[in-house]
Chain A
Amino acid sequence: MTMLAEARNLSIDFGPLRAVSDVSIAIAAGETVGLVGESGSGKTTLGKALIGLYPPATGEVALAGRSLDRAARRDRLWRGRTAQLMFQDPLSSLSPRLTLRSLLAEPGRIHGLETKAYWARVKHLLAAMAIPESLLGKYPHQVSGGQVRRVAIARALALEPRFVVADEPTAGLDVSVQGDLLNLLAELQSRLGLTYLVVSHNLNVVRKITGRVAVMYLGEIVEEGPTRALFARPAHPYTAALLSANPQVDPGRRREKIVLEGEIPSPLKPPSGCRFHTRCPKAEARCRAEHPEATDLGEGRRVRCHFPLA
């Protein structure tokens, strides 16, 4: 299987802060992968690094078979055509001084292909998302949050990228709109052959649309595996705690709540040994001393834990 996006032993530093630490992940073409974790766990940073927005401190990233070295990261037109980002806050990702029409024209103008075919494609996207053309003369702050999000999505897809990082695609939308949006993303995927990395802390969304999921804690991927298996039998105590905190509608599926003690430690000073030992209900002496390596559990599952649950 060819990998569309791949990180090997990737670390990203912001000054003294190591936001992403020794992460390896591979995303195959056509796949939808979820990235979950608490705020500040580095999931957005990893998503952006995978499309070449940050220089790696260690390790490397490859996108569509090309290593994202300095030259590739600077090849902005290639990068823009290959990978796109759906921003967590779409309103702030659109220039407040431009009308929706100009904003939608931007990708075409930047790439010098604002043609009839380009606009046909954009209008097709808008129609699929039920955005009337009469809205295009308005400014971003003049339309609803859901409409802004859909315009931002149309902008990200206007160049028909192969890889899309969707950062909290459903944040701030009410549940009915969330469902429409997820269906749309799935439909676009099957029609355009898109590959998604969905960054979210909404576990229900991740369970619904992803085939594989990676769990991040303090800049590390602590567990990774097929969504169904991982949700059914979490192997890392952190994953188990995260899943138990997720509200369940069906009482039969409710599980005992694992309450984590304390706050997420500062990523400036990650704990010794296993980064989770300060809050882990199953921590032992070894966890404090020894940093666990990622171990293979079979079925494509990997976990970074000395005492995996599954």
Chain B
Amino acid sequence: MIASAREVLAKVWAGGTGRIGLVLVFVILFVAAFAPWLVTHEPNKLDVLHRFADPSFEHLMGTDQIGRDFFSRIVVGTRLAVGVALAVILASLTMGTLLGIAAAYAGRQAERVILILFDIITSFPSLVLALAMVAMLGPSLVNVVIVVTITFIPHFGRVARAQTLALKSAPFLEAERVLGASPVRLVLVHVVPNIMGPLVVLASMDVPVVITIEAGLSFLGVGVRPPLASWGTLLYDGYQHLSQSVWPVIFAGLTLSAATLGFTLFGEALRDAVDPKLRSRAA
């Protein structure tokens, strides 16, 4: 079953929840891409005279405990969340896919080693494992990306391995071997494009998970360092000063909810559009 990207997007758009997801995802990606032009204030600029301001035309989402414009901080936080999510997903998708294909093609011993590694990583809940590893490595943006990437590799690796095993005996791979294709060419030109469908769906469904993990780590203080704005730190700061102003918590919470909802709806619609058979497997 082969469909072009345009056909798939049209199918996603046709479904009701898929359309909501697509719109939300588009808005989030747009904000992330054009963040420097969308901010109304310098996001890290203090203005202690206007702490805990209510939303107004001057400060669309009010200000935080040291007078920083909350809308601008949400906007740069969006760029951070999307950036972390894309970096994590792309890195774990690439490494997971290569490891999964390697496991499918390697001998029994190497396959066992790879699968045991996957099992070790997945035997911990990803947030707990990420917490432990960041605590060890020290909190920083780069460490968050590395750690979350590692926790997501088995996710893609297992699917890539299963897909490759199913594809391995396909006659067209034998035909390429008969023509003299090298193993590297076989994998990159013929295996990867044919196993990518389910992996892309999985990747899109993992985006909201990565976003919440990053926000969660930052909320717990082991994520990105201040003054960088992450949705998690914004939520935490708002929570700390809830008695003075409820707006930061409301806006940060709404943004996080909208983002995860949008990516989840989009991912599910994408899954159904690419291959309805995956529905039962992924659920």
Contacts and interface: CB of A to CB of B under 8 A. Distances in A.
Contacts of B177: 53, 76
A96 interface: yes
Given A84-B178, A110-B185, A159-B179, A93 B171 contact: yes
B107 interface: no
A110 B181 contact: yes
Contacts of A80: 178-180
Contacts of B16: none
The size class of the interface chain A forms with chain B is: 20 to 34
A139 to B, nearest CB: 7
A97 interface: yes
A97 B175 CA distance: 15
Interface in B143-192: 170-172, 174-182, 185, 190
A87 B177 CA distance: 13
Of B2, B172, B181, B182, most A-chain CB atoms within 10 Å = B172
B193 interface: yes
Contacts of B140: none
DSSP class of B's interface residues: helix, strand, loop or mixed?
helix
A291 interface: no
A195 to B, nearest CB: 16
Of A107, A110, A141, most B-chain CB atoms within 10 Å = A110
Contacts of A110: 176, 179-182, 185
A79 interface: yes
A22 interface: no
Interface residues of B, number: 17
B193 A53 contact: no
Contacts of B175: 85, 87, 93-94, 152, 155
Contacts of A89: 171
B194 interface: yes
Given A92-B171, A92-B172, A97 B194 contact: yes
A111 interface: yes
A79 B172 contact: no
A34 to B, nearest CB: 21
A76 to B, nearest CB: 4
Contacts of B172: 92-96
Contacts of A123: none
A31 interface: no
A95 B194 CA distance: 8
Interface of A: 51, 53, 76-77, 79-81, 84-85, 87, 89, 92-97, 106-107, 110-111, 139, 141, 152, 155, 159
7 contacts: A53-B178, A84-B179, A85-B178, A87-B171, A95-B172, A95-B194, A107-B179
